[in-house]
Chains A and B, each alone.
Chain A
Amino acid sequence: MDVSLIVVVVVITALAFDFTNGFHDTANAMATSIATGALKPKEAVGIAAVLNLVGAFLSIEVAKTISSGIVDETRIGPAVIFGGLVGAIVWNLLTWLVGLPSSSSHALFGGLIGAVWVASGSDAVRFTTVLEKVVVPAVASPLIAGLVAMIATFLAYRITHRTGEDTRRRGFRVGQVVTASLVALAHGTNDAQKTMGVITLTLITAGSLPAAAGPPLWVIISAGSAIALGTYLGGWRIIRTMGRGITDIGPPQGFAAEASAAAVILTSSHVGFALSTTHVVSGGVIGSGVGRRLAEVRWSTAGRMVVAWALTLPAAALVGAGAGWVAGTGAAGTVIVAIAAAAICGGIYWLSRRNPISAHNVNDAATV
């Protein structure tokens, strides 16, 4: 039957998701450096893109599960993966349109949960694992990063309060660029391999690859390139919110925020938490605002962001459920979902053109 069609569609959709993952998350590494002028906008996204690409090749351990155990993997077929990816892409684009940083991993998890649910029933979703592996780290990690950034920011200003303004700015800007690059590299090793895992497992299910095979070279190259290209195009709307919207960032704050985020990301991946770079960096930026002078943070923007985080799982699940259900009906259904998804993405892009944000005007305002 149409196994090959759905496999081809899944591979293309996975790369499209990888691309949205890239431009959605450029802000995590580079928004603070762009906001403080440590890097010019185009330089910043260029560095992030290269490091994401390098990270994709560096990563030794490619994701062996699509869902990290949050759904019953034996019930995942290509239609479910396709539905999950569509849900994740649509949610990523919607949050990009309104300039809200939200987690691409949560979007993917949400899409998969929805698609599995309609395909195999609610017992295929392991809700306890969702709580333990997704929800708890999602709540804890931004709080930890925020606390670390708050203390670090406070001490950075305290220690250098008599230092010449020029030396201080230049010194912290260097530190900022280095820590931001570390975040970008860590992102590449984490997120590009997620897409590689999705494509590889799809090929294995379809019988194109032997069980337990690693990703073929073309998968590594295309996944790395998709995330790097997305990163380079830069999600300027999200960069504006992250860099200017939450708080007014000075170089010491930007440095403290990225240093804290890098520390939390690296420690967590060591302990084995699958957490969201977006949540951690947002927490770090908020903490750096609190640590400088209390109440400098725009809590309304931070609040909208947190609402978007909470909605990510259920919203992507809804879209994923619908898409997975229609795609599961056969080749015609798959084509219908693909066309509908492309139309929705085109529509969101068209809406974004009414208020375009680019490298040239990203720092001009604090809101999207």
Chain B
Amino acid sequence: MHINWNGLGEVLVVALTAGVGLVVLAALGINAFDYRTRALDRGTSTVVATATSALCAVACVALIGYGIYLTVNK
């Protein structure tokens, strides 16, 4: 019997990176967005928070887009 350990390892590493990466990016983005809302209320600068949340959003969209690309071009 031949078990494809390399394949399993690849799935583990890539899924771990992509899955955890996506969730972390989203969490950071949500965090930054929340910070931005509170900064707006306080009247302090929102530049960094806005940029961070936008950057995270773009990264998430890119990851998901790559996922759709993989699904469609199997």
Query: A179 in the interface, Cβ–Cβ < 8 Å?
Result: yes
User: How far, in Å, is A173 (CB) from chain B's closest CB?
Assistant: 10
Q: With a CB–CB cut-off of 8 A, which chain B residues contact A122?
A: none
Which residue of the partner chain B has the closest CB to A187? B71
| Given A152-B23, A156-B27, A164-B34: A267 in contact with B14 (beta carbons within 8 A) | yes
Q: With a CB–CB cut-off of 8 A, which chain B residues contact A172?
A: 26, 30
Q: With a CB–CB cut-off of 8 A, which chain A residues contact B51?
A: none
Contact A270 B70 (CB under 8 A): yes
Contact A167 B11 (CB under 8 A): no
With the chains together, A140 CA to B2 CA distance in Å?
Answer: 15
Query: A99 in the interface, Cβ–Cβ < 8 Å?
Result: no
Contact B1 A132 (CB under 8 A): yes
With the chains together, A266 CA to B17 CA distance in Å?
Answer: 13
Contact A167 B37 (CB under 8 A): yes
Query: A303 in the interface, Cβ–Cβ < 8 Å?
Result: no
Contact B1 A263 (CB under 8 A): no
User: How far, in Å, is B36 (CB) from chain A's closest CB?
Assistant: 10
Contact B26 A271 (CB under 8 A): no
Q: With a CB–CB cut-off of 8 A, which chain B residues contact A358?
A: none
| Given A182-B64, A266-B70: A255 in contact with B3 (beta carbons within 8 A) | no
With the chains together, A226 CA to B7 CA distance in Å?
Answer: 33
Q: With a CB–CB cut-off of 8 A, which chain A residues contact B30?
A: 160, 163, 167-168, 171-172
Q: With a CB–CB cut-off of 8 A, which chain A residues contact B26?
A: 156, 171-172, 175, 255
Query: A90 in the interface, Cβ–Cβ < 8 Å?
Result: no
Contact B67 A271 (CB under 8 A): no
Which among A171, A263, A270 has the highest number of chain B CB atoms within 10 Å? A263
Query: B22 in the interface, Cβ–Cβ < 8 Å?
Result: yes
User: How far, in Å, is B34 (CB) from chain A's closest CB?
Assistant: 4
Contact A264 B34 (CB under 8 A): no
With the chains together, A162 CA to B74 CA distance in Å?
Answer: 41
Contact digits for B52-68, partner A, Cβ 8 Å, 1 yes 0 no: 00000000100010011
Among B3, B24, B37, B71, contact of A132 (Cβ-Cβ < 8 Å)? B3
Q: With a CB–CB cut-off of 8 A, which chain A residues contact B3?
A: 132, 136
- With A152-B19, A172-B30, A252-B23 known, 11 other A-B pairs at CB within 8 A are A128-B1, A144-B16, A151-B20, A156-B27, A162-B31, A167-B37, A182-B67, A256-B19, A259-B22, A266-B70, A267-B14
A interface list, Cβ under 8 A from B: 55, 58-61, 128, 131-132, 136, 140-141, 144-145, 147-149, 151-153, 155-156, 159-160, 162-164, 167-168, 171-172, 175, 178-179, 182, 185-186, 189, 252, 255-256, 259-260, 262-264, 266-273
A–B Cβ pairs within 8 angstroms, 11 of them: A55-B71, A152-B22, A156-B24, A164-B34, A175-B23, A182-B64, A260-B19, A263-B14, A266-B67, A267-B11, A271-B10
